[in-house]
A = this chain, B = another copy of it.
Amino acid sequence: MNEFELIQTFFARQQINRADVAAGIGDDAALLQPPPGQLLAVTSDLLVSGVHFFPDTDPAALGHKALAVNLSDLAAMGAEPAWFLLNLTLPKVDAAWLEKFCRGMFGLAREYGAQLVGGDTSRGPLAIAIEAHGFVPAGLALRRSGAKVGDRIYVTGTLGDAALALQQRRGRLSLPKNEIASVAERLDRPTPRVREGLALRGVANSAIDVSDGLLADLGHILEMSRVGARIFLDKLPVSPVCRAHLNDLGWDAVLANGDDYELCFTVPAANIAALEKIPVADDFRHIGEIEVEAGLRILDESGKAYRPRETGHDHFAESKRGNT
């Protein structure tokens, strides 16, 4: 099977045809019709075997996650997903692997109305680069640079489950079987917070997705907004399973692991009432405040300063080979 047939067979079979795609897969470039009056949000994320995922990862989970991490970036901008491109290097053409990969990727794509419009494939070490496009009205985009002194800091969902699953998979923690499934799902098939991002348009002053760890990602907001913050350990939302293993896992893993793909965002006092009216607001947790003093202060249960040893993810740090 040659490259062209491969593309035709697996990637032309998605079950979505957006009206704004004038030409999808099959020409030198896709031809797309952006909606008038909106900005185009464009993002790209790499997943490399042995760096971002274990080589034996279920291909369906990989297809899901490769797209999910990009939709998560769109969510963090308050953008509505539309189109994506896939660059895939594979050691060999493995029909069963591709079938599962596509099932995971297209399953998530359909859920968010995103259409595959192009990309490239090659023989090579297993790696996936997806590039996703979305729309956001000018002026409503959620930026890292928008946080203001006095804003409340929130996160969606819970943090730490993916870290727990990773430690379990590496043999450093041993979880009961019934707990493994729920946390593994968080690591393997993260849910991009697209609906939450759209709901936060005009409500949040700033947002970022927690892909490199809360400390690193909130750190980006602080740096870009030229502000500081304090957050409270006992306000960080963790799942019941995560809380049960928190003594073994440690707060550092919750603070420094990014694979949960939640959103961290800040809201000014004037918008709290609007925030609370959002249908999914029960899922938002108030974890701290934006302050004028630079830097991030973490306070523990007793109000004392907590000093984490890890501060976030670095894909070039040699000490971090493997799936973090």
Give residues in A with beta carbon < 8 Å to B.
1-4, 6, 22-23, 26-34, 36, 39-46, 48-52, 73-74, 76-77, 79, 83, 85, 87, 89, 92-93, 117-125, 127, 129, 131-134, 136, 138, 141, 143-145, 207-209, 224, 314-317
Contact status A125-B122, CB under 8 Å = no
Contact status A22-B120, CB under 8 Å = no
A136 CA / B127 CA spacing, docked (Å): 31
Contact status B127-A2, CB under 8 Å = no
Residues of chain B contacted by A131 (CB below 8 angstroms) = 44, 85, 87, 131
12 A-B pairs besides A33-B40, A122-B315 with CB distance below 8 A are: A2-B317, A22-B39, A26-B224, A28-B74, A28-B76, A32-B41, A42-B85, A42-B133, A44-B87, A85-B131, A122-B316, A124-B125
Known: A29-B77, A31-B136, A124-B125. A36 touches B39 (CB 8 A): no
Residues of chain B contacted by A118 (CB below 8 angstroms) = 42-44
Identical chains bound together, number: 2
Q: Which residue of B lies closest to A130 (CB)?
A: B87
- Between A45, A49, A87, the greatest number of chain B beta carbons within 10 A of the residue's beta carbon is seen for A87
A118 CA / B133 CA spacing, docked (Å): 12
A171 CA / B31 CA spacing, docked (Å): 42
Contact status A138-B29, CB under 8 Å = no
Contact status B48-A89, CB under 8 Å = yes
A39 CA / B21 CA spacing, docked (Å): 10
A288 CA / B74 CA spacing, docked (Å): 47
A136 CA / B28 CA spacing, docked (Å): 13
Checking B2, B28, B43, B93 against A30 with a beta-carbon cut-off of 8 angstroms, the contacting residue is: B43
Contact status B22-A32, CB under 8 Å = no
A56 CA / B178 CA spacing, docked (Å): 51
Contact status A46-B316, CB under 8 Å = no
A142 CA / B33 CA spacing, docked (Å): 16
Contact status A144-B28, CB under 8 Å = yes
- Between A6, A44, A118, the greatest number of chain B beta carbons within 10 A of the residue's beta carbon is seen for A44
Contact status A73-B29, CB under 8 Å = yes
Residues of chain B contacted by A51 (CB below 8 angstroms) = 122-124
Contact status B122-A209, CB under 8 Å = no
Residues of chain B contacted by A39 (CB below 8 angstroms) = 22, 31-33
Checking B6, B76, B129, B141 against A31 with a beta-carbon cut-off of 8 angstroms, the contacting residue is: B141
Residues of chain B contacted by A45 (CB below 8 angstroms) = 120
A224 CA / B28 CA spacing, docked (Å): 12
